[in-house]
């Protein structure tokens, strides 16, 4: 794949993720919505699109995104998994902050890929270790022994079932996110940012939910 086509795939990847985050947050389950919260088909379609687009970038990119929690956030590609997760979230009162954190780090990693590509240095992306610039998903989640959907090798880990368990609630980071959301809410965002920013998507949704009052 030449650089022009790769850049197009990166832009498509980012657009898909923004759309998914919007749908995910709009349907995030709570005790008050547990009876009527059904994930729309578009959520599953966008998850599959994001999963398969990531595969285009190769094993190294897949492992880096896996390290920051991509597959915890883009796990919901069918209604059975969504409903099992939904009732777990309600039962254990899991809030959105861990998933918001992952989404910001995914956005940063996409931008890192873009910058290297625009500098004609994308080969250097392969030289980054898993830990370079990344925060592990283990800060928020632990991975129990998963069943696999269609994987015999580690390289196919993107298709694993993941049992999600909250293992840490970093109050300082959570407060930082709330402060960030409030700050973004108060800013005037131009139309381009409104269309492309993960942060602005989440801010708008949380505002509608009354969580930033």
pLDDT, average across residues 79-96 = 83
**Listed range (55-59, 154-158, 179-183) with the worst mean pLDDT:** 154-158
Which pLDDT tens digit goes with each residue over 106-162? 999 999 999 999 888 888 998 998 889 888 888 776 644 333 343 344 444 433 333
- CB count within 10 Å of CB 52 equals 11
Q: Which residues contact 16 (CB under 8 A, 6 or more apart)?
A: 46, 49, 50, 53
Query: Whole-model pTM?
Result: 0.68
**CB-count exposure of residue 203 (10 Å: 0-12, 13-18, 19+):** buried
Q: How far apart are CA 127 and CA 199, in angstroms?
A: 29
């Amino acid at each position: 794949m030449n650089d022009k086509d790769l850049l197009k795939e990166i832009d498509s990847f980012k657009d898909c993720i923004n759309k998914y985050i919007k749908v995910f947050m709009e349907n995030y389950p709570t005790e008050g919505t547990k009876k009527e919260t059904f994930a729309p088909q578009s959520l599953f379609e966008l998850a599959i699109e994001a999963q398969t687009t990531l595969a285009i970038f190769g094993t190294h990119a897949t492992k880096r995104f896996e390290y920051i929690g991509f597959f915890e956030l883009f796990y919901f590609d069918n209604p059975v998994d969504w409903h099992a997760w939904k009732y777990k979230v309600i039962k254990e009162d899991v809030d959105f902050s861990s998933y918001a954190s992952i989404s910001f780090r995914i956005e940063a990693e996409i931008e890192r890929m873009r910058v290297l590509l625009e500098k004609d240095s994308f080969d250097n992306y392969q030289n980054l270790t898993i830990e370079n610039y990344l925060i592990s998903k283990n800060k928020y989640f632990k991975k129990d022994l998963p069943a696999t959907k269609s994987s015999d090798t580690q390289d196919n880990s993107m298709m694993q079932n993941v049992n999600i368990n909250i293992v840490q609630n970093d109050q300082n980071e959570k407060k930082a996110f709330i402060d960030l959301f409030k700050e973004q809410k108060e800013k005037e965002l131009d139309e381009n940012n409104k269309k492309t920013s993960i942060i602005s998507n989440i801010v708008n949704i949380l505002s509608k939910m009354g969580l930033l009052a």
